[in-house]
């Protein structure tokens, strides 16, 4: 499954380099039009990140997200600064099909485990944003601004009993770089957790990057905006199975 991505700051479509807000590129001011174009190209899902919400939950762009969902007809998985159960409830009520949760799952795993059980495994996606430290992939938190003391393997393992089904794994060092995805990372995750629906994010630059990647979903952002990758061609390779 191919997930074209939209990152939002103040209602505009942007991309960051390795999650750095100081390295921002703006690609448009009409995210509804961008999402509609993705739908017309054949996409079924959209990956939507509220970067304002990630920095400050008080600035969450729930209204914009609702407009994108209703205006495009796409299924949307969205995240960015999820701090509490009510944040998830608000996004699901706005029409989101799935909510992506990262830092909250590190700091309050019991709350997130309960949400997986209560909202259903398909409504929650665990964001495993990783930084490599001494040959071990560690989970990053706070909008990728700091590393936790939790390994990727331990992080995912902690939610299996709750029924975890969806994991979005981002190699921060490759995000927004168009240097190719970390194939070894994703192969290791699939080997450790074969029943998980794994989404890859970070580094995709061309069709060749999608070939044999081995994940169940792929997030594509900058490569689409820069014209390096054609969405219909990517969809033809990535298929349209449910993820």
Name residue 17's beta-bridge partners: 20
Closest CA to 75 of 2, 131, 142: 2
Catalytic residues: 7, 129
Q: Which residues of 130-169 are buried (b: 16+ CB within 10 A; e: fewer)?
A: bbeeeeebbbbbebbeebbebebeebbebbeebebbbbbb
Note whether 15 and 8 are within 8 A (CB). no
Residue 150 φ then ψ, to 5°: -115, 130
In angstroms, the Cα distances linking 149 to 18, 34, 134, 154 are: 20, 38, 13, 10
Q: What is the DSSP string of 33-65?
A: HHHHHHHHTT--EEEEEEHHHHH-GGG--HHHH
For 204, how many CA atoms within 13 A lie in the half-sphere containing its CB?
Answer: 31
């Amino acid at each position: 499954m191919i997930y074209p991505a939209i990152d939002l700051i103040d209602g505009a479509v942007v991309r960051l380099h390795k999650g750095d807000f100081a390295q921002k590129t703006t690609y448009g001011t009409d995210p509804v039009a961008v999402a509609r174009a993705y739908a017309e190209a054949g996409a079924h899902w959209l990956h939507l990140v509220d970067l304002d919400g990630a920095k400050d939950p008080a600035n969450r762009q729930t209204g914009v997200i609702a407009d994108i969902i209703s205006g495009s007809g796409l299924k949307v998985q969205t995240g960015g600064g999820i701090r509490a159960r009510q944040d998830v409830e608000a996004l699901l009520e706005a029409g989101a099909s799935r909510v992506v949760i990262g830092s909250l799952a590190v700091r309050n795993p019991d709350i997130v485990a309960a949400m997986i059980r209560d909202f259903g495994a398909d409504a929650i996606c665990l964001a495993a944003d990783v930084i490599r430290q001494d040959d071990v992939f560690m989970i990053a938190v706070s909008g990728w601004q700091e590393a936790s003391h939790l390994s990727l393997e331990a992080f995912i393992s902690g939610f299996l009993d709750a029924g975890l089904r969806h994991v979005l794994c981002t190699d921060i060092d490759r995000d927004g770089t168009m240097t190719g995805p970390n194939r070894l990372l994703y192969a290791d995750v699939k080997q450790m957790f074969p029943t998980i629906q794994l989404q890859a994010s970070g580094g995709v630059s061309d069709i060749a990057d999608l070939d044999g990647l081995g994940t169940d979903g792929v997030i594509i952002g900058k490569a689409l905006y820069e014209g390096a990758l054609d969405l219909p061609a990517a969809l033809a390779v990535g298929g349209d199975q449910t993820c």
